[in-house]
Structure 1
């Protein structure tokens, strides 16, 4: 099917992204259609009915473009094609057609900060001379020291070690991540024109939005000045400043010119095409600058993900995010896990405690106004896999720092008693990362239609979120209710005042009585009764309705 023949999204609501529930698909680990142990686009297509029935509105697909896969596809060699590992452009067209027919929108990752070292531009740069147009697409510099034998400055890679690699003719090139991911020079008009064309390529194929990788990173401070400290000199990694302080290679003011050029492109297509930034900034105010009618639609709120398991921490983060959303006139974006962070079941304590808290956090998040991003497998209550053998880990960060993101990327368990639990077609035993034996009890099939399962909890909450008037047409804020210490309670009301939804989360350490909140709609743990009063257990949440 040609791009021009693709059907439009099933709804004409241009503001769909303001309250959407977006499901992140880590393509390599979602579903394998051909038995090679690697997830692919056809696998996603086959599982679209599951996602429709789960109740999400859109899918965010991690990179599936042509890539050497040094960093799981975030090292792109061709931005306009599908890596054979994942299928073909025809597979993508078929998948997005079926997604739209089921009422699901598709958001794709775009990686503009850097390319793969296998990208034709970079191979041409290596073959060209210093100062050539080919090298001007990237950030090549002469070294420091008497003979240029030292890096141009003290910048460090996010993955650990220096951010510079020397080439045979003596120059150095910048890579804020792996050496296989050279940073582009976004002050070069050719780079800007290329990515504007890439946006149009995928918009023409029907994508509904973009998640922008390292959206804060494309512009570097003039002169590339030193940070002033490094791991080698102080033992303190520069990445520790991410989201907390200023770095000369992140969140430069000039970056907003790029997004002001992108927004008219998105607006020129029908159906509410959108963009969400993976951006880190030192203050909420600076992060808010990425959002607006002339820039991007959303930016992830990682403060919610980083909140500790306490009522005070969650309330502070929620209040700050809602206040900033009011200022910029855009919705908040809530997220508990993603492909770069330890799964929140494990962050909250692992085991039964972690799962109990994760279920409660899900109800808290889904009751808040704005857009929510789910990470694949959280609806199953999957924990981080902490005991992967070193020899199977593929995260380039692991090789440089010993830290690994592979534990949250283990392929999903779909069915069966033996790993890889239906990840591939019937009889397939291959899986690019091994799943633990305990996951047989967490598979989709093991939880499907089982009352009280995490999967059914998500389905119930998402079903209510889609139809309850207080969540559908209520205000963009929350009304906090007075409670005992350690308990969060807020209400959201329908615009006409006819009904309220109350969300209560018990982080107090003792069961709490729910008085005056109305009838229970859904709860993350079994509610008990005492003298006609509903009791909410420890580390649990409930939605109640009052009229």
Structure 2
């Protein structure tokens, strides 16, 4: 018997789809995606089976970091549309019984934000303490050795007031002082503004950066640093990130969300598992979903992935809900990391693990990183460290909709070049091909949303070796589903001594075997994965 859906919240049984607005759909012919363009494509997302959309920043911004440098937290940048366009987007998303999660960037503002303009106007301005201003050392050097994620020192000298201000990212992105209660209340009011407009939740950018060491102690050297790494990684951010007081802030943000019904908060947190799970908060009153980036960083090796999943499952506090991510706007695409064939196996992994999955736009059609000539690079991370190949542009290229000029994304020159494979690799073409990546995603999402065992069931590890990874998902009263993944390019065999495999293949990376019976053992092709509905009489696992 299916467990009642009402026992779970929308974000627990849902599938989140990240849209990078600049690259999804242009409706105005300026080469940049916008809100009206997203509205035009909502029917596609509903067809795909997506239940929630996470929208990267659309606020007014000088675009030094493409919207993550916010000049007004309660507006819409004209590049993306109008206030009316946003209201229409919320209405159209909700009309399709979908949810909207907005990006919230509380760690820093643009240096053009009125708060910072006031703060830097004089040392005595009432908003001076809204940002992190400090004297240099006795010799006039930086207050400490903290580094910017985008290269160089994280301190910028202001000649007018003769102090340094701190910026974890670009100098155009000064960090707010979250120890200041006025900053806290101002940001909580921002949250309420968008919640009042119907937003269903927030993805909180760089949540673990929000509080810094009060003593400004130097960060220690990173003994594992290699020359190919970003310069930021020369030091361990021991004192500039993940301070104990940040959890009080997260709990206060959660309290704001709890003023409303059924709203949620995702935290962007690049930390080891034992530190990540602390962001669930005491009694799960922190972030609903501290983003779990294990599948972004782990080597694509079955035993390492299996061990990490076990560690994560064991570390989640009672009542906490897991989540999984294969890609986002800051990381190389999954197809480029592990290859297009393994990307299907990865999709099967993502959408059958316990917890909420997040899909990055275009991964469902197998989009890959596109080489961007240096003279066309837009990303500040790539421009500041060109010799390290750290530009994020290749994973942010326009969505490939149809086999037409500019792939149906725009009628103009797009802000980033489109993949040359787009005439063959696009939504329209793949919708007509049962063997395509998109058709596989469509079937996989539909199956996940129809099976209580996949949406809410337990995760039961079965087996892993140097090629294969196997587990069971099971919800009491529902079928046992066996997931078998070959994470290598070579054939492999699965014949476990402690499990009789009798059942039917209900979904596979190779559609030809769907519906076939399985008895006792399996022989898998390279890059093959399958989901097997075990016969009801099987109880040993």
Deviation at 1:179, TM superposition (A): 0.5
1:156-185 CA-partner distances (Å, limit 9, x unpaired): 100111111111132111101001000011
Residue pairs, 1:91-170, within 5 angstroms: 91-128=85-122, 130-146=123-139, 148=140, 150-169=141-160, 170=162
Q: Aligned residue for 1:86?
A: 80
Residue pairs, 1:463-482, within 5 angstroms: 463-475=446-458, 478-482=459-463
Q: Aligned residue for 2:482?
A: 502
Deviation at 1:411, TM superposition (A): 0.6
1:325-347 CA-partner distances (Å, limit 9, x unpaired): 2x242111101110000001111
Instruction: Tell me, yes or no, if structure 1 residue 38 matches structure 2 residue 32.
Output: yes
Q: Aligned residue for 1:8?
A: none
Q: Aligned residue for 1:539?
A: 527
Q: Aligned residue for 1:6?
A: none
Q: Aligned residue for 1:7?
A: none
* Whole-Å separation in 2 of the counterparts to 1:366 and 1:234: 34
Instruction: Tell me, yes or no, if structure 1 residue 290 matches structure 2 residue 271.
Output: no
1:411-433 CA-partner distances (Å, limit 9, x unpaired): 10111233x20002xxx132100
What is the TM-score with the length of structure 2 in the denominator?
A: 0.90
What is the TM-score with the length of structure 1 in the denominator?
A: 0.89
Does the aligned pair in 2 maintain the 1:470–1:501 contact within 8 Å? yes
* Whole-Å separation in 1 of the counterparts to 2:384 and 2:490: 44
Q: Aligned residue for 1:493?
A: 474
Question: Secondary structure of 1:28's match?
Answer: helix
Q: Aligned residue for 1:342?
A: 332
Residue pairs, 1:9-24, within 5 angstroms: 15-24=9-18
Cα distance, 1:63–1:484 mapped onto 2, change above 3 Å:
closer
Question: Secondary structure of 2:408's match?
Answer: coil
Does the aligned pair in 1 maintain the 2:504–2:518 contact within 8 Å? no
Which sections of structure 1, spanning at least 5 residues, go unmatched?
1-10, 349-353
Over the aligned positions, Cα root-mean-square deviation in angstroms equals 2.3
* Whole-Å separation in 1 of the counterparts to 2:463 and 2:103: 42
Instruction: Tell me, yes or no, if structure 1 residue 61 matches structure 2 residue 55.
Output: yes
Does the aligned pair in 2 maintain the 1:215–1:279 contact within 8 Å? yes
Instruction: Tell me, yes or no, if structure 1 residue 389 matches structure 2 residue 379.
Output: no
Cα distance, 1:483–1:225 mapped onto 2, change above 3 Å:
closer
Does the aligned pair in 2 maintain the 1:217–1:251 contact within 8 Å? yes
Does the aligned pair in 1 maintain the 2:60–2:78 contact within 8 Å? yes
* Whole-Å separation in 1 of the counterparts to 2:362 and 2:226: 39
Q: Aligned residue for 1:4?
A: none
Residue pairs, 1:205-224, within 5 angstroms: 205-224=197-216
Question: Secondary structure of 2:75's match?
Answer: strand
Which sections of structure 2, spanning at least 5 residues, go unmatched?
496-500, 536-541
Equivalent pairs counted in the alignment come to 515
Residue pairs, 1:507-518, within 5 angstroms: 507-513=487-493, 516-518=501-503
Does the aligned pair in 2 maintain the 1:29–1:410 contact within 8 Å? yes
Does the aligned pair in 2 maintain the 1:229–1:238 contact within 8 Å? no
Deviation at 1:484, TM superposition (A): 6.1
